[in-house]
Amino acid sequence: MSVHPVILTQSKFLHRDSLKFPFEERGLQFGDGIYEVIRIYAGKYYLLEEHVDRLFRSIEAIKIKLPLTKKELTEQLLELLEKNSMDGDGKVYLQVTRGSAPRDHVFPENVDANIYAYVQDLPRNLAKLENGVSVITLQDIRWDYCYIKSLNLLPNVLAKQEAKENGCYEAILHKNGLVTEGSSSNVYLVKDGTIYTHPATKNILHGCVRMAVERFTKELDIPLIEEAFTLEDIADADELFLTSSTSEVLPIIKVNQDFVQDGKPGKITRLLQQAYEKDANLTKQTVSAHN
């Protein structure tokens, strides 16, 4: 894969190897920051405005002062792709912390936020999109403000690792049997032609692809109800799928040791995959071409 050496930091562009922050950096010592992962297809951002809007919502929620407007940040992110000659599929990781200061739980005064962004290649996983994935279920032990895209991801990391150790792609999280979301995704259940997913409360991340899926369902006249479902409901589900910027619209075909229906991606999931591909202007090697 290509190496993309130019990063964006503090509104400047420099080589990734030259990025340095002091060891007393609040993102490192407290997880005192937020982030975004933005998908790129054929050198163009997908859902960029939605990601920038969510970044600023997270910044406001944890009271970080960012010396940039949405417009300025967007322009710099676009320039980042140009400086890296990015013309393929990939992602940008963007992080903002409260800054560097002597370690103290209280917010430091007169300290600039630290911000950086970099580009990585990320080809589409067509095999998983075509065939679906297996998941496990785990208790949701995270904090109550999951709508903030916080750097504090240890519970998510542990859940994702347990999924991997069980030969699965993702962990579906639940609070006493009520499904919230995945460790790094939003989760949906389809029953009798209707899609169900947890409401956009503070207990889940309001995914950018989730917002796109809501738009797709209206265009396709597919009922979508923001109503949490249970682990018991999964046993009778017609379809399950998850969404995220890196996973797109991904079928779930197996939960723990049980297949979802016949173990194949369902009709509504396929329709949403095709709507996603159309919306993102994906014209080559798409899952739609396999059906």
Q: So which residues are the catalytic ones?
A: 149
SS3 letters for the chain? CCCCCEEEECCEEEEHHHCCCCCCEHHHHHCCEEEEEEEEECCEEECHHHHHHHHHHHHHHCCCCCCCCHHHHHHHHHHHHHHCCCCCCEEEEEEEECCECCCCCCCCCCCCCEEEEEEEECCCCHHHHHHCEEEEEEECCCCCCCCCCECCCHHHHHHHHHHHHCCCCEEEEEECCEEEEECCCEEEEEECCEEEECCCCCCCCCCHHHHHHHHHHHHHCCCEEECCCEHHHHHCCCEEEEEECCCEEEEEEEECCEECCCCCCCHHHHHHHHHHHHHCCCCCCCHHHHC
For residue 121, the cross-strand partners are 90
Which residue's entry shows tokens 């990601």?
Answer: 51
Overall residue count recorded for the chain in this entry: 291
Strand order in the sheet with 6-9: 12-15, 6-9, 114-121, 90-97, 33-41, 44-46
With beta carbons less than 8 A apart as the criterion, state whether 215 and 162 touch: no
Which tokens in the block code for residue 203? 């207990």
